[in-house]
Amino acid sequence: MNIKVVGIAAGLVLASTSAFAQSSTVTGAAGGAATGAIVGGPVGAAVGGIVGGVAGSVIDPPPQQVVTYVQQAPAPAERVVVEKVVVGEPLPETVVVTPVPDDPKYAYAIVNDQRVIVEPSSRKVIQVIE
pLDDT tens, 18-40? 333 333 444 455 555 555 556 66
> With bands split at pLDDT 50, 70 and 90, how would you rate the model's confidence at 17?
very low
Q: How many CB atoms lie within 10 A of CB 6?
A: 19
Provide the pLDDT for residue 48.
58
pTM above 0.75, yes or no: no
Query: According to the CATH classification, is domain 87-129 in 3.10.20.600?
Result: no
User: Three-state secondary structure along 44-81?
Assistant: HHHHHHHHHHHHHCCCCCCCHHHHHHHHHCCCCCCCCC
> With bands split at pLDDT 50, 70 and 90, how would you rate the model's confidence at 108?
very high
Residues 67, 101, 86, 46, CA torsion sign = negative
Provide the pLDDT for residue 38.
67
pLDDT in tens, 46-99: 555 565 555 545 567 899 999 999 999 998 888 899 999 999 999 999 999 999
Domain map (residue ranges) of the chain: 87-129
Give the three-state DSSP class for 40. Answer: helix
Provide the pLDDT for residue 129.
93
Residue type, 32: G
